[in-house]
Structure 1
Amino acid sequence: MKRSIYLSLTPLPEARERVLASIPTLELAKHETLPAEEAEGRVMAEAVFARRSIPHYAAAAMDGVAVNAKVTFGASDASPVTLKIGETAFWVNTGAPMPTGTNAVIMVEQLLKKTPDTFEIRTAAHPWQHVRPVGEDTIKGDLLLVSNQVIRPPDIALLLNAGVFSVRVKPRPRVAILPTGSELVPPESSPRPGEILETNSRMIAAYARDDGALPSILPPCRDEREELVHALEAAAKDYDILFILSGSSAGAKDFTRTILEELGEILIHGIAMMPGKPALYGIVHRKPVFGIPGYPTSAALFYEEIIRPFIGEITGLPLPAPSTLEAIPFRKIPSKLGQEEFIRVRLGKVGDSWIAVPLARGAGILKGLSEADGILRIPMDSEGVSDTAPVPVRLRKPKSTLEGQLIFIGSHDLSLDRIEVLMAAGATGVSLAIGAVGSLGGLFALKGGKTHLTAIHLLDPETQTYNLPYVQKYLSGRAVRIVHLLKRTQGLMVRKGNPKGIKTIRDLARDDVQFVNRQRGAGTRVLLDFFLERENISPEAVSGYLNEVATHAMVAAEIQGGMADCGLGIQAAAEALDLDFIPLAREPYDLVIPDELYGDRRIRVLLDIIRSTPFREAMAALGGYDPSESGTEKTL
C-alpha cells in the first residue's frame, strides 16, 4: 500500500476558516420544534412573541384589603378614614384578582381595627398601590426571545406564562464517531504489547456532548479498506457529522484520505499545528467528515481548535470567551518554524509574576493535557520563547483556583503526590504545580525567583554530607530555610528475579547490562557519579549512561518495559512497579524555602501537611521511607 503524503500544511487560522466556510454547502440537521419546558440549554432558531399578558388580570401584590383609592383621600392622624369590610374594603391575598371597582391594596399592618368589620387608616392610598396591573411584566405581543439566544431556566417560565408552549430551536447534530485500527481493544481489557486501548472515542464523545451534539460511538473498524468504506457510507446516511479516529496520517494503512478522495472531496489534509498536524477534513455526500489524529493530545487540540467552532456554528451555542494571562516561562522553550505549537503548562504566581512550567510535549502524553492549567501558543513564524519575558497563556482552569497554586521546581519524589492528595482532601485551596528538573535545576530556579520552593538530595563528595554545601554554594546571600521532608533509600532497580544477576555498582560496567540514568543536575545523577568515581568506573563504560529520564518512576518504567536492565532510584518506585531492589544509600530529601515566603499561607498549608500524622503514615506505608522527622527545620 502506497503511503499518503501531506502535500502542504494549512495554517491553523486558514484551516478553521475553510471548515466554517463549507457549512452552507452541507446537508445538516434542520431546526426542530420542542416543548418549551424541554428546551433548556438549546438555542432559539427564531424570535418568539408573547401570546398573552403577564399577569393576565389585575392582581393584589400584598395581603390586605382592596379599596378604591378615592375613598382614602384625606386620611391622616388627625382625620382617620373608616373602611367597612364588604362595602368600601374587601379582603385579598397576594395574587388574588382585584374586586370590581378597586384599584389599590392597603397592607394588613396599616389597618387599625375598630370593630370586627370596620378599620381605620391614617394614610391615604394612591391608585395602583400594591397592585400588579394587567401586563405589568409582559403585554401580549411583546418580544420574548430572539434567534440565537440560549434558553435558560427563567426563559422557560417566561415562555409558559406568556402562553408559548413550543419553540423552534437550532439542531443538536448527530455525530458518528468511528474508531479505526486493527490494534484497538476496549479500555476495560488488559492489553498485550502492540494493542492500544480505544479511549479517544470516549474523549471526543464527551467533548461533543459538552458542545451540544449527540455523539454515537460506532464499532471500531479494522485496517481493511472495504470495511472502512462500508462503515463510512452507512454513517453518512444516518448522521449529520462523521468523525474518523486515526487513519488520517501518512502511514501505509491510513486509508482515510484515499477513501475520501474517491467518495467525495478533501478540503484539508495536514494542519500547521503541533500537536495535531495529521488532521483531515473532507465532505462525502454533503456530510462533513473529520479525520482526527490517533494521538490523544493531537485529537483533543484538533477538536478544540477546529471542530468545536464548527459545531458551535450549527448549534448556535456561544464559544466560551478565552481567558488569558501573561506568564514568564520557567525555562526557554524552543520550537519548530512553520508550525504553531501548543505547549501545555502549569501556572503559579511567584511574587508579582506568573510563572509557566512546561509539561511533557509529546502528542501521546494525555496526562499533560489533563493537568495543564493553560496553553502557551508559539506562533508558526517563531523558533520559541525566552525565559525572561512574559508571554500570553490561554487558561484551561479558572484564574481564581491558580492563585493558590505553589510552583515546585526541583527534585521529584513520590511524597509530592501524597502531599497533593492531602491538600485536595482538606479543601485547602492550595495545590502543587511540579516541574521535575532535578536538585540543581531546582536551586537555580529558586535563585532566579521562578519557584516558591524546591527539593534537593545532593551529596557533596568532599564533605560526604548532603544538601547544605550546595545551598551555601548556589544560594549564597539568599535567606532560605531548609525543612526536612523525609529520609529515603536509594539503590539499584532491576527486573523481577534479577535475571542479569546485578549486585553492585561494578556490574554497571558489564557489556550485557543496559542502564537508564537520570538527567544532569538530578541528585540521583550526582550520587551515581560519586559511586562510579569511587569504583574507578568511567561513565563511558556504562552502557546507557546518556539514556536520561526525569523521575524515579520513569526509571522504573523503563526497566519494567524491557528498555533497560537497571537504574539508580528510590525503593518506593521499584516496589510500585514490582521490581527487585538492591539498597545502596540512605539520603535526606529536604525542602528549601525562601525566607520571605516562609509565612505565606500556601507554604504554611504544606508544612502543616508534612508534619501531620496522615502524611507520615502514608509515607511509612511505602517502601524505603522514614518520615519520622518530616517538617523539622535544619540549621544553616
Structure 2
Amino acid sequence: MLEKTDQVTEDIGQVMPNRRIYLKMKSLKEAQSIFFSAFNFTNFLKTEVISTTESLNRVTAKPIFARFSSPNFHCAAMDGYAVNAELTFGVTLDQPKELTIGKEVFAINTGYPLPDNTNAVIMIENVVEKEGKIEINKAVYPWQNVRKVGEDIVATELILPPNHRITPYDIGALLEGGIFEVEVKEKPKVIIIPTGNEVVPIEIAQDRGIEKGQVIESNSWMLSSLLNTTNAICEKWPVVPDEFRQLKTTIQKAVESDAHLVIILAGSSAGSKDYTVLALEELGEVLVHGVTIMPGKPTILAKVNNKPVIGNPGYPVSSVISFEQFVLPILSQMQGFVYEERPKLKVFLSCPVPSKLGIEEFLRVKLGQVGKNIVATPMPRTAGSITTLTKAHGIIRIPAQREGIEEDEQVEAELLVPQAEIFNTIVIIGSHDLTIDLLTSELKKIDPFLNISSSNVGSLSGLMAIKKGRAHLAGTHLFDPETGIYNLTYIDRYLPEIPVKVVNLVIRHQGLIVPKGNPKKIKSIEDLTRSDVLFVNRQRGAGTRILLDYKLKQLNINSSQIKGYDCEEISHMAVAVDVLSGRADVGLGIYAAAKALNLDFIPIAVEEYDLVVPETLWETKKIQTILQLINSHKFKQAVEKMGGYETSKTGMVKR
C-alpha cells in the first residue's frame, strides 16, 4: 500500500485542513512509554465463562483451584500383580516365594484400581507364572509401583493463577482436576480501517484487476493474520477514501463500538491528503505523531474515548514494523501475558552498513553460518518492499546514536522465526508452604507479567540454591536448638560469603495431621511409637523433618521406633493427602494443610518461615514487587484466613 502524494487541489465539497509535518518525533522507547502508560489495562477486558476444552491460549480471569484429586483412587503404575507388600517381606533370590493368584495376588493392568487390602504391584516381568500361582524372588515395599491418591493433583490446590495463558498441558490438568468450565478474559476486538483513493479491495481487484496508480488493499489482510496469533478478533472495515469528514465519522463510529483497539491504515504521514492525525486531534488526544524508526516513522499514537487508536503507515514494511512495536505489545498488556520477543543470535555483518544518525533502523538480513560465526547479509532497505521480510532470516537494530555498523563488528540479530515464550519468572526454592501458592496468585493480580516458579526441596536445599545462584528466593524454617533462633544460624553456617536479606513471610503452626475425628486418638509425638500407628515423614533437609528430629531428641525417642519414619513426602499437602487417603495415620505438617482437606490437627510448635534473598537482587523490580505484596494488608488478611498462620512479623526484615 502506497503513502499518498501531496495534492494542491481539493475535491468538490472537501474541507481542506492545514497540512501537518513532524515537529516532535519521539524515539521508539519514548513513544512506547507514552502510549502504553496512557491506559490502565487491569480490567480493560470483560470476562466470560467458556468450556475448558475450548480454552487454549485464553487468559485466566481468576485463580483456578482443583475440585478433584488426580488420581482419586490408588491405582497400578505398572502391569503385574497387586499384593499386600508384607506378604513379600523376606523374599530373595535364594528364598523365592509362591503366591496364589486371586487370593494373595491379583492380576492388574496399569491404571486400574488396587483391590482391597493390597498396597503394592509386582511388575509382570519380575514374576514366574505357574498354574494358579506366581513365583517371586524379590520383595516389594508398600506403595511400590502404585500411583497414590492425589499424586498429580490434590483437591483444593491451585492449578492456574489469574492472568495465565492456557496451554494444551493446562487443559489436561484442568480436566483432571474436575474443572470443566473456566472464566477467562474476553478476546480483544480490533477494528482495522483501510484508507486511500488509490486502494482497491481484493474482491474488486480479483474481478476487474487494477489500473495504473491503484494498489491492492493487502495491509489489512496481513495485519489481521498477525492478529490471529494474539487471540484478537479482527474486524476489517471497508476502505475509506481520502475525505476528511468521512474519515472522521468512520473513526468516531469505530471508537464508540465495542472494539478495544482501532487501527487506521495509511494517511498517517504529512501529505496534503493525510487526514488521520487531524481527525484524531478533533476526536481525542494525539499522544505521538512520528517515531524515529526506519521503517515506520509516520506512526500516530492516540487516545480516543479512552481507547488506543493507532495510525499505521501505508508502506508494507513500515506497517509491519509499527504493528509489531505498538499493536502486539498493547494486545499482550490488555490480556495480561508477556509479549514474546524474538530469540536473538550474535552475528557479524558481511559488509559495513551506514545508517542515519538519530533514526533507529530495522535492518532486514539473511543469515548463514561460516565456521563458528553467524554472518548477516543485508537485504534491500526500502520500506515498500514486503519481500525484504518474506525472504529475511532476521532483523538487526541499528541504534539511533550510531551512524552504522562496521564490518566484523558483532551485533545481535532478532530471528524471524516462532519463538519460545518468554517468562518473567521469580524462582523460589526451598521449604514448601501454602502461602507460596497464595503469593503466586496474588502477584499475578498486581503484576500480570510476573510469575513464580517454586520448587519444594527443603529448607537446606533452598539455601544451597542461593549459594549456587540458582534461585531468587529461598523459603526456610530451620530451627537451631542451641540458640532457639530460626534460620539465621543456618544462614551464617551455609552462606558465610554471600550477603543476604532475610524477610519473614509468616509465623506458622506445625503439628500432627490426623484423620477427621482422630480415630486412633493420637495426642502427642510419643504416640508415633505405637505399633498401630503408621507415620509419614518429610524429606531429609526439610525444616519440618529437622523439627521432628529435635522433638524426638528431647523425648529420647529413637527414630527406628516410628513405623514409617523413612517414608518421605516433599510437601505439607502431600502429607495431608497421605493421611486423608489412609496411606498413613499421621504426619507432621502445618495447620493450613490439615484445614484444606478437613483433617484434624494437634499443635506441636510455632515457627518462623522466612524468605532469604541475595542482596544483589534486593533492589530489583521482581523482589521489590514481592515485598510490596507481602507487606500489603490484603495479603496478610488472605494468609490469616487460611488458618494456622500469624502475620505479626510478616514483611519484617530480620537482617
TM-score class normalised by the smaller sequence: 0.5 to 0.7
What residue number does 2:29 align with?
13
Contact 1:330 1:357 in 2 (8 A): yes
What whole-Å deviation, never above 9, does each CA across 1:256-313 have from its counterpart, x for those lacking one?
1111111111111111111111100111111211000111111111111222111111
- The reply to whether residue 155 of structure 1 matches residue 170 of structure 2 is yes
1:316-395 maps to which residues of 2 (within 5 A)?
316-395=336-415
What residue number does 2:194 align with?
179
What residue number does 1:75 align with?
91
Q: Which runs of 5+ in 1 are unaligned?
A: 400-636
Contact 1:27 1:240 in 2 (8 A): no
Mean CA deviation greater in 140-149 or 159-168:
140-149
What residue number does 1:271 align with?
291
Instruction: Report the Cα distance in structure 2 between the residues aligned to 1:98 and 1:350, rounded to whole angstroms.
Output: 60
Instruction: Report the Cα distance in structure 1 between the residues aligned to 2:401 and 2:133, rounded to whole angstroms.
Output: 88
Instruction: Report the Cα distance in structure 1 between the residues aligned to 2:200 and 2:259, rounded to whole angstroms.
Output: 25
SS of residue paired to 1:24: coil
Equivalent AA in structure 2 for residue 387 of structure 1:
E
What residue number does 2:235 align with?
216
Shift of 1:353: 4.5
Contact 1:212 1:317 in 2 (8 A): no
- The reply to whether residue 227 of structure 1 matches residue 246 of structure 2 is yes
Shift of 1:351: 4.6
- The reply to whether residue 95 of structure 1 matches residue 111 of structure 2 is yes
1:417-496 maps to which residues of 2 (within 5 A)?
none
Shift of 1:55: 0.6
Contact 2:41 2:333 in 1 (8 A): no
71 and 289 in structure 1: CA distance in 2 versus 1, 3 angstrom threshold: same
Instruction: Report the Cα distance in structure 1 between the residues aligned to 2:371 and 2:128, rounded to whole angstroms.
Output: 66
What whole-Å deviation, never above 9, does each CA across 1:161-182 have from its counterpart, x for those lacking one?
1111122333321110100112
Rg: which structure is higher? Answer: 1
122 and 176 in structure 1: CA distance in 2 versus 1, 3 angstrom threshold: same
Contact 2:198 2:215 in 1 (8 A): yes
Instruction: Report the Cα distance in structure 2 between the residues aligned to 1:398 and 1:22, rounded to whole angstroms.
Output: 30
- Pick from 59, 62, 71 the counterpart of residue 46 of structure 1: 62
What whole-Å deviation, never above 9, does each CA across 1:205-255 have from its counterpart, x for those lacking one?
111112221112111111122222222222221311100001111111211
Mean CA deviation greater in 84-93 or 277-286:
84-93
Mean CA deviation greater in 22-31 or 363-372:
22-31
What whole-Å deviation, never above 9, does each CA across 1:62-87 have from its counterpart, x for those lacking one?
33332222222233455443323333
Instruction: Report the Cα distance in structure 1 between the residues aligned to 2:364 and 2:55, rounded to whole angstroms.
Output: 37
Instruction: Report the Cα distance in structure 2 between the residues aligned to 1:342 and 1:371, rounded to whole angstroms.
Output: 15
- The reply to whether residue 166 of structure 1 matches residue 201 of structure 2 is no
What residue number does 2:47 align with?
31
What residue number does 1:593 align with?
none
- Pick from 218, 222, 225 the counterpart of residue 199 of structure 1: 218
Number of equivalences:
398
What whole-Å deviation, never above 9, does each CA across 1:21-76 have from its counterpart, x for those lacking one?
12207983223322111111223333222111111011122333322222222334
Equivalent AA in structure 2 for residue 225 of structure 1:
F
Instruction: Report the Cα distance in structure 1 between the residues aligned to 2:363 and 2:121, rounded to whole angstroms.
Output: 66
295 and 53 in structure 1: CA distance in 2 versus 1, 3 angstrom threshold: same
What whole-Å deviation, never above 9, does each CA across 1:364-412 have from its counterpart, x for those lacking one?
121112212222222222222333533333232489xxxxxxxxxxxxx
SS of residue paired to 2:40: helix
TM-score, normalised by the number of residues in structure 1? 0.59
Instruction: Report the Cα distance in structure 2 between the residues aligned to 1:321 and 1:27, rounded to whole angstroms.
Output: 24
1:580-595 maps to which residues of 2 (within 5 A)?
none
SS of residue paired to 2:182: strand
Shift of 1:135: 1.0
What residue number does 1:501 align with?
none
What whole-Å deviation, never above 9, does each CA across 1:433-483 have from its counterpart, x for those lacking one?
xxxxxxxxxxxxxxxxxxxxxxxxxxxxxxxxxxxxxxxxxxxxxxxxxxx
Contact 1:376 1:393 in 2 (8 A): yes
SS of residue paired to 1:18: helix
Contact 1:170 1:316 in 2 (8 A): no
Shift of 1:125: 2.6
What residue number does 2:548 align with?
none
RMSD in angstroms over aligned alpha carbons? 2.3
Contact 1:28 1:287 in 2 (8 A): no
SS of residue paired to 1:23: coil
Shift of 1:92: 2.4
Instruction: Report the Cα distance in structure 2 between the residues aligned to 1:274 and 1:48, rounded to whole angstroms.
Output: 44
